[in-house]
Amino acid sequence: MFCDNKILIAKGNTPVYLLPEMANRHGLIAGATGTGKTVTLKVLAESFSDSGVPVFLADIKGDLAGLAVEGSDNPKIQERVNMLGIEGFEYKSYPVRFWDIFGEGGHPVRTTVSEMGSILLSRLLELNETQTGIMNIVFRIADDKGLLLIDLKDLRAMIQYVGENARDFTIKYGSISTQSVGAILRKLIALEDQGGDYFFGEPDLNIFDFIQVSPEGRGYINILHSVKLFQNPILYTTFLLWMLSELFESLPELDDVKKPKIVFFFDEAHLLFKDAPKILIQKIEQVVRLIRSKGVGVYFVTQNPCDLPDEVLGQLGNRVQHALRAFTPKHQKLVKAAAQTFRANPEYDIDTVITELATGEALVSCLDQHGSPGIVERAFILPPQSQLGTIDDETRKDIILSSLIYGKYDKAVDNESAYEVLQAKRKQEEREEREEERKSAKRQSSVKTSRKRTSNQKSFFEKAFSSAATSMGRELGRSLIRGILGSLKK
User: Where do the structural domains in the chain lie, given as residue ranges?
Assistant: 2-110+203-401, 126-200+415-437+448-472
Q: pTM higher than 0.75 for the full model?
A: yes
Q: If residue 8 lies in a helix (H) or strand (E), which one and from where to where?
A: strand 6-12
- pLDDT beneath 50, residues of the chain: 447-458, 464-465, 467-478
Q: What is the pLDDT of residue 461?
A: 55
What are φ and ψ of residue 295, in 5° steps? 80, 25
Q: Where are the alpha helices (DSSP H) in 98-145?
A: 113-116, 118-125, 129-144
Angle between helices 118-125 and 233-250 (to 10 degrees): 170
pLDDT at 292: 92
How much is the pLDDT for 327? 65
Q: Report the phi/psi class of residue 224: left, alpha or beta, with left for phi > 0 and alpha for psi in -120 to 50.
A: beta
| pLDDT value of position 325 | 81
Spatial distance between the Cα atoms of 137 and 10, rounded to a whole number of angstroms? 51
| Beta-carbon count within 10 A of 352 CB | 11
Kindly tell me the sign of the dihedral angle through the C-alpha atoms of 77, 79, 80, 86.
Answer: positive
The CATH code for residues 2-110+203-401 is 3.40.50.300
Whether the CB-CB separation of 296 and 264 falls below 8 Å is answered with yes
Question: What is the C-alpha to C-alpha distance for residues 466 and 146, in angstroms, rounded to an integer?
Answer: 8
Q: Is 53 in contact with 214 (CB distance < 8 Å)?
A: no
DSSP string across 176-219 = --HHHHHHHHHHHHHHHHTTHHHHBSBSPP-GGGGS-B-TTSPB
Q: What pLDDT is stored for residue 322 in this prediction? A: 94
Per-residue pLDDT, 193: 81
CA angle 16, 21, 27 (to 5 degrees): 60
Question: Cα–Cα distance between 200 and 149 in angstroms, integer?
Answer: 10
